Amino acid sequence: MVEVSMNVEPDSFETRPDGDSSLLGLALLAPVVGAASGLVGAIFRLSLDRADDLRNALIAWAHGWNFLGFIALTVACAAATATSAWMVRLYAPKASGSGIPHVEAVLRGELPQAPFRLIPVKFLGGLLAIGSGLALGREGPSVQMSASIAHLVGKIFNRNWADCRVLLAAGAGAGLATAFNAPIAGAIFVLEELVRRFEPRIAIAALGASATAISVSRVFLGDASDFHVGTLAYAGAETRPLYFVLGAVAGIMAIVYNRTLLATIAAAERFNYQPPELRAALVGATVGILAWFAPDMVGGGDPITQQTLAGVGTLTTISLIFLLRFGLASVSYAAGTPGGLFAPMLVLGAQIGLMFGTLCQMVFPDLNIQPVGFAVVGMAAFFTGVVRAPLTGIVLVAEMTANVTMLLPMLGACFVAMLVPILLGNPPIYDSLSEDARQQENERPPQTIPDGTAATGSESR
């Protein structure tokens, strides 16, 4: 593990007297970081696709063996998630969970950067967890792996810690860009969520890394947007107030989601499973049982989001799927395996929007209401309510759906979706996860990992 001093001055991101040469060096290294992040992120996405295919094939095979097949599927999912948790505990405790709170803590100087073995652990652990059917997102592993890659590039080229931090932030943005094929959102995510201020050096590095990451990843993944949305008309003046109401609904649901997620994690911690892999195995077995009865409901959830954006399903079925995915997302994250929150949030946001739009269409039949338009807006609004990063949410959804006609309604909905949780005193989810991780770290004794160093398993949640 590379030792890095965390005694960094508060203005360490700012330009020093040698700022011009430092800036040029960052501008040259940012594409290197982006290319490596784009390659790893693309391979990770393709591997997840293959894992989904393998899981579906296993489910189909299991149904041919009736009860024995049911047992085999349940055991396989439990074994995969337990293996993922075992890898995290033994080799890289900071790889647990999303990883974004850990990246933020490193950028704030609160935690050291994780050792570079995190990269293979996050890759393989995320592949096992998400591939086995847990409702987790690919963006968490992509962001944390890319941040580690960026830090490694900085150390290889002998950059000081201030420059390494800039590259680390840029790499994280490149990871998000690759995960969702959204380069602009990746750069905005760095400034809005990770460092929470605009600074030219970070902006330049983030733009260069995200642009290069997408250029590389699209060689393998293609350049089509993640979701296809039919033609949507611009929202008329008579329907625009409804989007403000949708924002309020999304903000309230975001509070419920945040509290449910934290309560689920706390409940899992109270059981104090020994070894911790037992908790992951129980969650994996539960997901395996669900996969037997409803194989389309497990996994990251992109197919569900696409169906929602196509307007498929009745109000009753959408509501039932929403409740199922809501609970599954919280339980999956509590397993302690690698995996993010963004993709499951986008599923829930689209469903909230579609349900709301369908109800409005029933209540106001004379208005020209397109429920799918509300689904698109709901994705950005719910994301904003949970994360409190409205610009990232708006641009992310616009890039993922290749739709700009709903930008104005998104602004109104995200305005209210962010206002409501703040007024009600609900903190952003990553702030809560970081605080919870610090408390757990203070309460637990250190664990010994194979290289003899000490680490705690909760600090990366």
User: How many Cα neighbours within 13 Å face the side chain of 311?
Assistant: 13
Residue 226 in tokens: 């993640």
Distance CA 209, CA 190 (A): 11
Residue 378 in tokens: 């709901």
> pTM of the full predicted structure?
0.90
**Is the Cα dihedral 335, 400, 325, 242 positive or negative?**
positive
Distance CA 318, CA 283 (A): 24
Output the pLDDT for position 448.
45
Residue 452 has pLDDT above 50, yes or no: no
Residue 86 contacts residue 277 (beta carbons within 8 Å): yes
Q: What is the dihedral of CA 345, 347, 350, 354, to 10 degrees?
A: -130
Distance CA 248, CA 420 (A): 6
Output the pLDDT for position 438.
67
Residue 203 has pLDDT above 80, yes or no: yes
**Is the Cα dihedral 93, 102, 33, 4 positive or negative?**
negative
What's at 375, amino acid-wise?
A
| Beta strand ranges found along 77-194 (DSSP E) | none
Residues 6+ apart with CB under 8 A from 346: 301, 305, 379, 383, 397, 400
Q: What is the mean predicted confidence (pLDDT) over 194-208?
A: 92
Name which of 180, 109, 182, 104 is nearest 144 in CA terms: 104
107-126 core/surface letters (b: 16 or more CB in 10 A; e: else): bbbebebbbebbbebbbbbb
Residue 10 contacts residue 188 (beta carbons within 8 Å): no
pLDDT classification of 236: cutoffs 50, 70, 90: confident
Helix (H/G/I), strand (E/B), else coil: 447: strand
Render pLDDT for 159-180 as a digit per residue (tens, 0 to 9): 998 999 999 999 999 999 999 9
| Domains of the chain listed by start with CATH number | 25-225 (1.10.3080.10), 240-434 (1.10.3080.10)
